[in-house]
Amino acid sequence: MEKLIQLTAREAVENLRRGEISPLELLDAVEARTGEVEPQLNALPTLCLDRARDHARRIMSDTDDAAAKQPGWLGGLPVAIKDMTDVAGVRTTYGSRIFADHVPGISHPLVRRIESLGGIVVAKSNTPEFAAGGSTYNEIFGMTRNPWNTSLTPAGSTGGGAAALAAGEIWLAQGSDHGGSLRRPATYCSVVGLRPSPGRVTRGTQETLFSPLSVHGPMARNAPDLALFLDTMAGFCPEDPMTFDAPARTFSQAVAEAVPPRRVAFAATIGGSPIDQETRDICRASMEPFRAMGAEVEEINIEIEGLEETFLALRSQQFVIDRELQLQSHPDLIKADIIWNTEIGLKQSTSQLAGAERARAKLYRQFMALFQDFDLIVTPGANTPAFDVNLRHPEAIDGVKLEHYMAASNLTAAVTLSASPALSVPCGFDQYGRPIGLQLVAPPRGEAALLAAGALYEAQSSLDKLLPIDPRAGEVPPVAGL
């Protein structure tokens, strides 16, 4: 079982193709590993092993190899699906007491796609209520802990998936990202997470189908595994009007034929968002692998006036679409952060929303101008390292006290507004052993070059070779400036 858990996703799929291992053996390995580490982590609160084994037997008995020839074929590899995403016949709560006993009859279009390409859903990963939160906690399943230090959070909102990957419970995890929900958990857990371009991956059933803010995407232990999972996910979906066809050249091919970026811009922050000083220093020093692969690296400043106000206005409008009716019917069952975010949207004027849209358009043009000069923009992967698991958000960053939970996400939120794909990759550890990561940003629909750069960077750092890990106990480090 230990050897199977140590395999990368690509290695496991190749072994499945050759018949050297079976999907049932991988499911046994998942069951054994979750039994070992879940009491310490609470990353995968809902297992669906019987359903998974039924699916495995169907894959093993299928003699039609048409699906196996498609890009992104997983061959019976177990995957985790975020508890925001419906899986038919499996309890799906969205982290909300309103849906504590919800069992959907139909799977989300993305889940159907993953399963049609040989992915076996083995678990639902934990999420904060309605995926709104910088720490993965809800009143149904409780808190998820970071395997690098179980006193710390794995961040949110795809914290369950990130923690499960780092601890070797699974090989691939599906998640979603609005203000950083795939990128920050990846950074905190030293795995890789991709926020794809809007339309790259179907969002399926959500009400905000015409907004580019929230996307679905993959998370993995290394960039080539993530490229494989993006091949599984990417493509046109008639249930999502923003989707488009997958590229003829697969993302796995792009990684295998990776070419280094020529010019890389490093920005220690965006729009003046506060960044932990040690994080800035580590990330700045972590530009050396790009230089080693022949890239020219230049440090730049990205000034964005009113970044937080712009993002909150647009995000809050989306919260009105998603949560207004639930606030009317179940006001006592929704947490304060969601009420706060929704009420901002309800109270803002049409003129304020129009101003935010103009600011977003200006920000987009600003990023496109930068991409005229640089192949890649690199920033820290998060404003601050992992914090106390008992907190909703960091108390302060670089001496600046935070007024609300979204204030710790402005760095990743800025990239969300740019409609650019962004990849979180590990780059080191701080003095307390907390993972530090980079956010790599490419032009819209530039996932191929982005993943190639991430894979080349990873080959230089070899930090992915540290995974998976056994959960480690630890203490909460002091907060600078308090």
Is pLDDT of 462 > 80? Answer: yes
Higher pLDDT, 404 or 420: 420
> Confidence band (pLDDT; 50, 70, 90) for 159?
very high
* Distance of alpha carbon 83 from alpha carbon 91, whole angstroms: 9
Residue 66: CATH number of its domain: 3.90.1300.10
Residue 127 lies in a domain: yes
Q: What pLDDT, on a 0 to 100 scale, did the predictor assign at position 452?
A: 98
Residue 189 lies in a domain: yes
Q: How many domains does the chain have?
A: 1
Q: How many residues does the chain have?
A: 482
Q: What is the pLDDT of residues 165-218, one digit of tens each?
A: 999 999 999 999 999 999 999 999 999 999 999 999 999 988 999 999 999 999
For 18, 68, 368, the CA distances from 13, given in Å and listed in that order, are: 9, 11, 37
- Mean pLDDT in residue range 468-473: 98
Q: What pLDDT, on a 0 to 100 scale, did the predictor assign at position 1?
A: 83
* Distance of alpha carbon 72 from alpha carbon 256, whole angstroms: 14
Cis amide linkage into residue 468, ω under 30° from 0: yes
Is pLDDT of 456 > 70? Answer: yes
Is pLDDT of 481 > 70? Answer: no
Q: What pLDDT, on a 0 to 100 scale, did the predictor assign at position 407?
A: 87
Amino acid letter for position 455 = A
Mean pLDDT taken over the chain:
97
Q: Which domain holds residue 393?
A: 2-307+353-466
* Distance of alpha carbon 360 from alpha carbon 376, whole angstroms: 20
- Mean pLDDT in residue range 355-375: 98
Residue 316 lies in a domain: no
pTM (two decimals): 0.98
Q: Residue 440: CB partners within 8 Å, gap ≥ 6?
A: 376, 377, 378, 422, 423, 424, 425, 450, 453, 454, 457
Q: What is the pLDDT of residues 17-30, one digit of tens each?
A: 999 999 999 999 99
The dihedral through the CA atoms of 261, 264, 269, 275 has a sign that is positive
> Confidence band (pLDDT; 50, 70, 90) for 63?
confident
Percent of residues, the chain, with pLDDT higher than 90: 95
